[in-house]
Amino acid sequence: MVELIAKKSFTYARRALRVGERFAAHDGDVRILLAIGHAVRPETAAAAPPPPADPDPSDEDPPAGTAKDRIRRVVSKRLPTRSR
């Protein structure tokens, strides 16, 4: 068993874990939990700097146009145009 710290809220071994909570994981699960970003090793968590604060969304101007216009802009950037 390896001790880990939860990075996200999730259920492990029938137990609801919260962010920052320490828990013991089976050896076979450790690599998976680390890879999918659900947990970190205690020594990694202590050395990592705190995540940057999210900017206040009220400071940003809302995008212009309707939702349909915004979707068209996003889709047109992702899909190549056909030449006829």
Which domains, from first to last, does the chain contain? 2-47 (3.40.5)
pTM across the whole model:
0.54
Give phi and psi for 39, each to the nearest 5: -150, 160
- How much is the average pLDDT of 14-20? 94
Reported residue count of the chain is 84
User: For residue range 26-51, what is the model confidence (pLDDT) as tens digits?
Assistant: 999 999 999 999 999 998 877 666 66
CB 38 within 8 A of CB 8: yes
- pLDDT > 60? residue 61: no
